[in-house]
Each structure stands twice: as structure tokens, then as C-alpha cells.
Homo-oligomer: A and B are copies of this chain.
Amino acid sequence: MKPTALIIGGSQGLGYASAKELALRGFNLMIIHRDSRASNEEITQKFDELRSFSVEVTSHNFDATRNDKIETFITQLQPDLQFDLVLHSIAKGNLKNVVGENALTPNDFQTTIQAMAISFYTWANQLVHHQKMKNPSQLLAFTSEGNSKVIPQYGAVSAAKTALESIMKQLAVELAPYGIRANCIQAGLVDTKALQHFPAYKQLKSYTIKRNPYKRLTIAEDVAKVVGLLSDSAARWINGSIIKVDGGESLV
């Protein structure tokens, strides 16, 4: 029987690239995404491409950052469905300075931390509670260098990333008795739609290319490949780790 992966945020960026890599490795996929009707056709095509790898792909279009939606969704899953891998790939944060006219509000912090960190907990907690995780299985989420480096306007996302990593570590320890491990991948800067919303997008992009030891940005496939490696049983002892996949960018 094929293994099954749940991709939370799987219609674009790192999530979609990872879905493709996992399909290639023979995973059936359940994809959660949030897209407008206007993009329906494009998304359908993308998911069909995944099916071309001879795996089953189901998709669900709803806001995967809302605790109530998550709970409802999980309680309605098929009774015998269990996941081998759950990948959280949600980039949804407020990008503002901490001071000035349009500064981050406390509410901006709350919603960003909810979307990018706490929702990872909600998924994990509910999946375990409803016995939807196999033994062994793995929880995986994406973090970034914002976990330690200060980038103007990135304050709320930075806080969310550190909270996410902290939650991942707690899950890694407390879920070990259930055979569930948890890890993060710290990707280098990828030219995603999320990044393009960043005010200093162009500047950040050219700075990063110059800075990276390999003089290029990280591409989604670089990261997806490592999602693939971590999905391998050979990675079974990697637990509670943050794997940097950035070509060495964060060192300089």
C-alpha cells in the first residue's frame, strides 16, 4: 500500500514542489489549499500533474489556519485513513515595521503567529487526538533565517517562525512515544508569491544572490528534494532537528 502525505498549503511554492517530489516517491496526497475560484483551472491542472505520477490526489479548499476548520476537517476524515507524513507549508504573515504610521499591531502578531505557528500545533494535536498519524510517521514544517536574523518589516513572521520551531521541538519530544517525529526545514530565500509581497523584495533578492555562496536563490525544488529525503525511512532518527537547506546562505 502506498504511503500517504497530508500537505497543508500545497497548491503553490514549497508546498506544491514538495507534493510533486512526494508523488514521484509514490506518496498518495491529500492537499489542503486556499485559492480563489478564479484560479480554479490552474490549480486543477497542477493537481492533475501530480496524478500523472500514478498516485491518488485529493484536495480541499479551505482556510487551514483556522482552528475550528481544522478540527471539523479532521473529524470528517475517513475512519481508516492515517498519514505517514504531514507537511505544514503556510506563509501568511503581516509585513510591517514595528514603529511609525503603519506599524504592526498586536493583532498582526496574533494572526501571523496563529497562521504560521499555532495552526501547526492545531493540526498535530488534532491528528494525534483522532489517531490519524501512523506509527512511525512525521510532522514537518518550513522555517527561515528569520528565526535568528532581524529583517525590517519581518518582525511578526520572525516571531511566528521561532514559535513554530519551539512547537516543533515540543512535539518531537512529547510525541516520540507515539512514533511520531517532528522536524523543520530552514529554506534559503525562495522567490515565491509570498516573498513578492515583501516591500523590499527586489533589494532582498539581489542581496541574497550576491550573498549566497552559490550566487543564486534557493529554488523550491532544492527544498522539495530534502522533503523527499526526510520522508525516507533512512531519516528515522532525525527528530527535533532544523535542517538548513540554503546552499550555505545563512553562514555569511
Contact = CB atoms under 8 A, between A and B. Distances in A.
Interface of A: 67, 97-99, 103-107, 109-110, 113-114, 117-119, 121-122, 124-125, 128-129, 147, 149-152, 154-155, 158-163, 165-167, 169-178, 181, 188, 213-214, 218, 222-223, 225-226, 228-229, 232, 234-241, 243-248, 250-252
B159 A117 contact: yes
A4 B110 CA distance: 30
A118 B106 contact: yes
A166 B159 contact: yes
A222 B114 CA distance: 35
Contacts of A246: 237, 239
Give 4 nearest A-B pairs by CB, closest first.
A176-B213, A222-B237, A240-B248, A155-B170
The listed residue with most B CB atoms (<10 A of its CB), out of A238, A243, A244, is A238
Contacts of A188: 237
Contact of A248 (B159, B161, B172): B172
Given A158-B170, A213-B176, A235-B225, A163 B113 contact: yes
A107 B70 CA distance: 14
B238 A234 contact: no
A168 to B, nearest CB: 10
Query: Taking the full assembly, how many copies of this chain does it contain?
Result: 4
A244 B236 contact: no
A181 B249 CA distance: 12
Nearest to A179: B214
A238 B228 contact: no
A172 B159 contact: no
Contact of A213 (B149, B162, B173, B248): B173
A192 to B, nearest CB: 16
A228 B223 contact: no
A240 B212 CA distance: 11
A174 B214 CA distance: 10
Residue among A98, A122, A161, A246 with most chain B CB within 10 A: A98
B162 A150 contact: no
Interface centre among A114, A149, A174 (most CB of B within 10 A): A174
A105 B129 CA distance: 12
Contacts of A147: 166
A173 B248 contact: yes
